[in-house]
Structure 1
Amino acid sequence: FVPRPAEKGQAVADFISELTPATVQPTSEAITETILPDQPGAERLDTSTPVWGLHVDGSANQQGCGAGLVLTTPDGQKIEYALRFDFRTSNNEAEYEALLAGLRLAKSMNAKQIRIHSDSQLIVNQVTADFAAKDASMYAYLSTAHQLLRSFQAYEIKQIPRGENSHADALARLASAINDKVGRKVPVEILAQPSTVTSEACAVRYEDTWMSPIYLYLTNGTLPEDKAQARKLRYRSARYTVINDVLYKRGYTTPYLKCLTAEQGEYILREIHSGVCGDHSGSRSLAYKVFRQGYFWPTMHQDANTLVKRCDKCQRFGNVPHIPAEPLTPIVSPWPFAQWGLDLIGPMPQGKGQVKYAVVAVDYFTKWVEAEPLATITAAKIEDFVWTHICCRFGIPYAIITDNGRQFDSELF
């Protein structure tokens, strides 16, 4: 006896083909189909613009639920990413979570065109509007996916066999099966709630800030009607740039500084001044700490000074200088090698020739230093040093400033 599985399978196929009606009979229950709007941005990919590749896959089993994705840059580099869900999902919902995570990652990396590959027939056909989303959960995921796809100039989604999606499938199974950190350097994000859950947002009053004219000019080219104000705004906007819809201030030797409003800046000042790690520093130090943290707004120094003055602890326990202030007396040299400062240092560890002192002279204009080691510090040694190292080399100085020590106050010197 020789089995013939091929013939048996063909017989079953012929039986189903003959007895299946040509048209599907409508069911008694009414099924509400939701028709989504036309797909935005589903144009053909432009060959002149770099195209990113995205492979996504989801996994839902008894051990857990997770998703994996592989984002391929235009130059061929692969970015691996895995997600583990703290909530139960179906396999289709896991596939959608993988797609949404991949689109968010591609959007954050400023991808303009993307080619998506998935092994889920349902997800691909729902995105291309070949299948209708009848379930409320599927409709929510589909709406979120279309909203993210609007961020790209063009996209292409294609269903591929599971064997060609093995890389993303392995990441999805890895994220769903392992609770702790993985051995490889694969980032695993813990997703606490589905991506379709929206947080409640309260409407707040919006007013124009100091950033509004600069942001509008850099993004839309909007200028004031006054020519003088427009010229001033163009000159001022050259020091700023917009990255991911956020305004940054740039400088020649400083990193990009995130621009803040006055209210946000006051919160930053309070946290640095009197927060968990606050040390109640002064206004100048406080302003520079904010600058080193990467923030900027025009009235930063004035706001820091006002905050320190309002701080109760700083006013109660701060050190109050009792010495009356007086203007500083600068010592300025009119020309090079005209004014020298002279002093002795030591005793130091004894060196060769039993020298343990040194005489040092510094020019106030050029900061040139002359020094000589000495065994003894006498007026004759100082006179010889000044004559040999200063007068004979640079000429007779206009003035020599000392601390009136015995060696400098002698008649011989």
Structure 2
Amino acid sequence: MMTLVIPGPKAPSKDIDVYLRLLVDELKELWEQGVPTYDKFTNSGFTLRAAIMWTINDFPAYGKFSGLSTTGFWHVMLSVNPAVRPVRQKRRAYDPERYEAMKAEVDRLSSIRFIREVDYPTWLANVVMVRKPRKGWRMCVDYTNLNRACPKDSFPLPRIDQLVDATAGHALLSFMDAYSGYNQIFMHPEDQAHTSFITDRGLYCYKVMPFGPKNAGATYQRLVNHLFAPLIGNTMEVYVDDMLVKSRTADQHIPNLSAMFTILKQYKMRLNPTKCPFGVASGKFLGFMISQRGIEANPEKIQAILDMTIPKTVKDIQRLTGRVAALTRFISKATDRCAPFFKALKGTKRNITWTAECETAFSELKEYMGRTPLLSTPEHGDILVVYLSVSASAISSVLIRSKDNVMHPVHYVSKALQDAEVRYPDIEKLAFSLVVSARRLRPYFQAHTIHVLTNQPLRQVLQKPETSG
């Protein structure tokens, strides 16, 4: 498990409001001009440089990198189990293109002091070069063996659906992305050698937290939870390195940003301005499109389904159903829509039987994905309605919110029936559908009064279960 040693906060700065007004109004202009001159943003000793990084060279302090503190109390400990025998992986061979990319990245990381040379490491891992989607290579390290020796950090990550619900419905949003966020946290000196990796240039280890250790995400979540504790759930939401400031009205946005930037200044966290849209009405957050209107499916995920050709292999069908699964919140009776695809996979490991039923289901799915609904977010005191539906092989439901006498979907639920569940009478399937819905939509059932609507006398069955036989 990674242990994060956290200091107490410093006194907040009071000179940030004017700076933020300039930032929100003029940052777009600066992006169009390229790397800005910082003098025009100087106000009461606070400059744009204090929270923004245009390049890695903008890190001040010792050498070219200071991390989240110049006094060294932001340290990550790996908690490696001493009873586990260290593993030194054998050096792997790479093609010339990967060698050149590795050499360039090692030179870059050395120049900014993210890594250092190491002698006689007990743990040693290989570099893995991963091609970026657009251009170039990303250097990763294979920490498979090291991760097996580290206990799992059980620090909880926030529920994505609840964060998305809490964000939608706001007038203005600002999305923040830390510049090499993981790398802004120091490794504990005693654990640096555990991150050692081998290259054709020699042996190196990380002085900062790299990507790859299994608890890196939980460690970063613990960090941001501590930093932004007064703001999270009020004016800010954070999921690992995805940070967002939200405001119900436009007038509130500058003060809300001010509070967040005050914390950034205290702890010297730097943002990447090219990935920080400020003061926008909508944007992508955790794979969803959010706005004041509500929650929409990610257009890229929808397009990925619309662009698919007729599946010809098992992997093609698995790819299709996987893409549908990522959007089930927006899809009415998703399991029923995919039932023909699952039938095509039954009893085969290689070949599939693409039937007319599959063809019809595929066409209807694409038609539906072209008009996925806008989901609403309930407000405090709203009475919600859940509609239940059953079929021969699945149960489904939709949570509805009524606003201005118009019904708005909040969340769709669907589940395939297994084994004995398939043989339930319809009335029992409805009861089971209610149970599944209550479990999956627990936060809504806890916070709101829910009216259940069906075409069956479900209340009598729940009150007198013996009548169902």
Fold match (TM-score > 0.5):
no
Give me the TM-score of the superposition, normalised by structure 1: 0.24
> In terms of Rg, which structure is larger?
1
| Higher RCO (C-alpha 8 Å, min separation 6) | 2
